[in-house]
């Protein structure tokens, strides 16, 4: 049986990533699969991913070794380094010789070199104008990875970015749907309550609504909550006495 080629393994990785996005998935598992593939299939020693949290601050999400974790955490603490710059600019930052950039990023260079890294490629995880993080490839040898490897890494980053943004969009859509359903349900209760107050207080519908709103405001309560209590006959609202 013929052993799978590197191209076969790359295609298999893309298929795995695509399958992961079909149904509900674990974002961390998706990203760990991605960095493991970068380490195993590309000309890189280790890989890691930084993602921005809700406040826009980068956090280390996955990595392939303790060595790269230390390098990434150092950049986050110092708020300086090629990965930070990549995220801020939204463009790839290539450092074929880390030692040559020691004056630019002294802390990063020191930690990277002490952990055996001589080069880094920081690739933005970006879709149009939205950058959500960086895919970082560290190498134990100076130089730049082959162009084909950079294309593959860029494609890996794009797949992950689309998956994460899709997942976020779905969550936001669900929230909006829930909010809309809540609003519709509340509206039904309010309409019913208007009819109840109109009948029990002997006032027109418009005035019944005013009575409901006034009661809710005076008691610091939500209009929908007051309406539901009126419908359940737990609360009686009458017109104010003259």
What is the CATH classification number for the domain harbouring 220? 1.10.10.10
- 96 and 206, same domain (yes or no): no
Q: Is residue 74 part of a domain?
A: yes
Q: Is residue 88 part of a domain?
A: yes
Q: How many domains does the chain have?
A: 2
In a domain, 27, yes or no: yes
**Residues 119 and 36 both lie in one domain:** yes
Overall average pLDDT of the 127-136 stretch? 89
pLDDT in tens, 198-225: 999 889 888 888 898 889 888 888 888 8
* Residue 241 maps to a domain: no
Radius of gyration of the chain (CA): 29
Q: Are residues 115 and 202 in the same domain?
A: no
| Alpha-carbon span 143 to 238, nearest angstrom | 82
Assess if residue 174 is contained within a domain: no
For residue 96, tell me if it sits in a domain.
yes
Range of the structural domain that residue 205 is part of:
180-231
Residue range 25-65, pLDDT digits in tens:
667 777 888 888 899 989 999 999 998 887 888 888 888 89
Task: Give the CATH number for residue 116.
Answer: 3.30.450.40
pLDDT in tens, 88-117: 999 999 999 999 999 999 999 999 999 999
User: Model pTM greater than 0.75?
Assistant: no
Do 28 and 147 fall into the same domain?
Answer: yes
99, 21: one domain = yes
Q: Which percentage of the chain shows pLDDT scores above 70?
A: 87
- Residue that is last in its domain, among 168, 192, 212: 168
Same domain, 43 and 118: yes
């Amino acid at each position: 049986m013929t052993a799978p080629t590197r191209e076969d393994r790359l295609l298999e990785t893309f298929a795995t990533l695509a399958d992961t996005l079909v149904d509900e998935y674990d974002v961390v598992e998706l990203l760990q699969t991605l960095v493991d593939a970068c380490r195993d299939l590309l000309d890189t020693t280790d890989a890691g991913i930084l993602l921005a949290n809700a406040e826009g601050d980068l956090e280390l999400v996955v990595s392939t070794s303790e060595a790269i974790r230390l390098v990434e955490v150092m950049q986050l603490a110092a708020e300086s380094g090629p990965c930070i710059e990549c995220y801020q600019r939204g463009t790839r930052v290539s450092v074929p010789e880390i030692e040559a950039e020691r004056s630019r990023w002294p802390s990063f260079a020191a930690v990277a070199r002490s952990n055996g890294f001589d080069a880094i490629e920081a690739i933005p995880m970006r879709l149009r104008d939205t950058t959500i993080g960086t895919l970082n490839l560290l190498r134990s040898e100076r130089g730049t990875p082959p162009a084909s490897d950079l294309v593959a890494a860029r494609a890996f980053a794009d797949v992950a970015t689309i998956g994460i943004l899709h997942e976020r969009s779905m969550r936001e859509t669900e929230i909006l749907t829930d909010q809309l359903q809540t609003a519709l349900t509340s509206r039904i209760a309010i309409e019913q309550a208007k009819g109840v107050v109109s009948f029990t207080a002997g006032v027109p519908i418009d005035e019944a609504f005013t009575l409901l709103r006034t009661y809710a405001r005076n008691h610091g309560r939500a209009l929908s909550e007051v309406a539901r209590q009126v419908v359940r006959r737990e609360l009686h609202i009458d017109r104010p006495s003259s």
